[in-house]
Amino acid sequence: MMNRRTFVAAAAAAGSAAHAVPKLAVEGGRPVREKPLKAGYWGTQYYDDQERQELVEVLETRRPFRWYGPGDQPPKKVLTFEKEFAGKMHTRFALGVPSGTAALNTALAALQVGPGDEVILPAWTWHSCFNTIVFAGALPVFAEIDESFNIDPADIESKITPQTKVILAAHLQGNPCDMDRILAIAKKHKIRVLEDCAQSVGASFNGRPVGSMGDIGIYSLQLNKTITAGEGGAVVTKDPVLFERAARYHDLGGLRPPHQQMLGQPELDWFIGNGFRMSEFTGAVLVAQLRKLARIVLDVRANARRVYEGIADLEGLHLRYRPDPMGELGSAVFLGFESKQKRDRFMALMKAENVPAHPPGGSVVLPVLPHIENKVTVHPAWPSFTSPRGRAIEYGAECCPRTLDILSRFAGVSLDPKYTDRETSDIVTAIRKVWPAVSQA
Ligand SMILES: Cc1ncc(COP(=O)(O)O)c(C=O)c1O
């Protein structure tokens, strides 16, 4: 029971607490920051004399092509990158290619995906995943995502048919997929797993680097990724036959001496391949960047940890599902809400505080894109969609209601490895400031 004295004391305390709560910026209060917080491009912020030195060597030796050039010794930048990348990703072979899209193309070729085959991919991912399955002549089949924003392992089995050849597991926005569950399904149905690590270079799942767990893995090294040469990509595998097919596919169907030496006795002969060689300029920058990967990951994870710890006690906090929080890259901290209205209010309040939060990004809900729904290809007789199954399959919003719902209820704040303590603490301050207005609304 409250007597008069305790009531007065409690009222006074409540009054001073109310006074201590800063006024929201949308209501005319002072914003947490004077200017909007903005994440930068990660890898380029770490460019220094090491990248410069590597590039200068290519220029001065006049050897921009990976296989040969002036001088007695063959150029070595791309080859060095491949060797070191394979080591860092705990795998056996790595192949440098010009982009993540080219890497997907190459990986699907290595897995011999072609007309009549089906590949299961998440409804929320990047264009390249769908497009390269179609380039291969195969049929893309969408599965829903779960609250990790990655393919929902529980939705994969219902999408498997006798034609399913590959599950494309994309580790999106720095968050590793639950690979144990995906690999168990793949094993049970004798299906191959292609890991797309474009958005999660440097992340891991239960101590294993992404890309090292499936049959084959791909990475993008484009500007928005963990390390970058502006453009770039890589394919990794432990399987020598998959590597040989990838290496041949990336260079017109033949096998060059350095890769032949790695493989020992080649298993395959010439076939019709593509033109996806990486330039020595790209290789040079990537050698320097790769040696900084651990540093960049440490930096961004430290910033993410500060934000997670700073908001951990918020009542009703619902974070993006992380199958392995320790392995997450830390590129963004995502919060989930009961409804889109609440999510949108959170974003509006955060924007006013100059700490913008955004919906999950970097990917697209592919099935609802008109050109995908209408199966528009460069040629009307593209094999993916001419078979009875290809004609019958329907894309569109109906095939991914859960994906659309999840993405409408989450928002996150991006992190940057170079954020200062002040900047990460501004993120915490802003979230804590707006939280009561959203969660108790
Ligand atoms: C999941 C995913 N896969 C593949 C790619 C393709 O990479 P690139 O842009 O290097 O071709 C991207 C690019 O953002 C991506 O996000």
Question: Tens digits of per-residue pLDDT, 222-252?
Answer: 999 999 999 999 999 999 999 999 999 999 9
Does 62 score more than 60 pLDDT? yes
Question: CA torsion sign, 335 to 339 to 340 to 342?
Answer: negative
Tokens of 100: 């993540």
Tokens of 6: 């305790």
Q: Which of 236, 239, 217 has its CA nearest to residue 170?
A: 217
Average pLDDT, whole number, for the chain? 95
Q: Which atom of ligand 1 is nearest to the CA of 231?
A: 10
Q: Where do we find the tokens 């294993």? A: 208
Does 10 score more than 50 pLDDT? no
Contact present, 43 and 296 (Cβ < 8 Å): yes
Give the fold, CATH level 3, of 46-292: Aspartate Aminotransferase; domain 2 (3.40.640)
Q: How far apart are CA 131 and CA 140, in angstroms?
A: 9
126 lines ligand 1 (CB under 6 A): yes
Q: What is the mean pLDDT of residues 188-212?
A: 98
Q: How far apart are CA 279 and CA 235, in angstroms?
A: 15
282 lines ligand 1 (CB under 6 A): no
198 lines ligand 1 (CB under 6 A): yes
Pocket test for ligand 1, best of 199, 210, 226 (most atoms within 8 A of CB): 199
Nearest CA to ligand 1 atom 5: 100
Specify the pLDDT at position 441: 77
Specify the pLDDT at position 345: 98
Question: Tens digits of per-residue pLDDT, 67-84?
Answer: 999 999 899 999 999 999
Tokens of 278: 């990486």
Specify the pLDDT at position 94: 98
**88 catalytic residue (yes or no):** no
Question: Tens digits of per-residue pLDDT, 84-123?
Answer: 999 999 999 999 999 999 999 999 999 999 999 999 999 9
Q: Please report, as a single letter, which amino acid is at residue 121.
A: L
* Torsion, Cα of 369, 375, 379, 381 (10° steps): 170
Domain boundaries, the chain: 46-292
Residue 193 CB partners (closer than 8 Å, separation 6+): 166, 167, 169, 182, 183, 186, 213, 214, 215, 216
Q: How far is the CA of 240 from the centre of ligand 1 (A)?
A: 25
Contact present, 228 and 43 (Cβ < 8 Å): yes
Q: How far is the CA of 279 from the centre of ligand 1 (A)?
A: 19
129 lines ligand 1 (CB under 6 A): yes
233 lines ligand 1 (CB under 6 A): yes
Specify the pLDDT at position 20: 65
Instruction: Choose the catalytic residue: 77, 88, 225, 433.
Output: 225
Does 15 score more than 50 pLDDT? no
**Does an H or E element contain 352, and which?**
helix 340-352
Of all residues in the chain, what percent carry a pLDDT higher than 70? 95
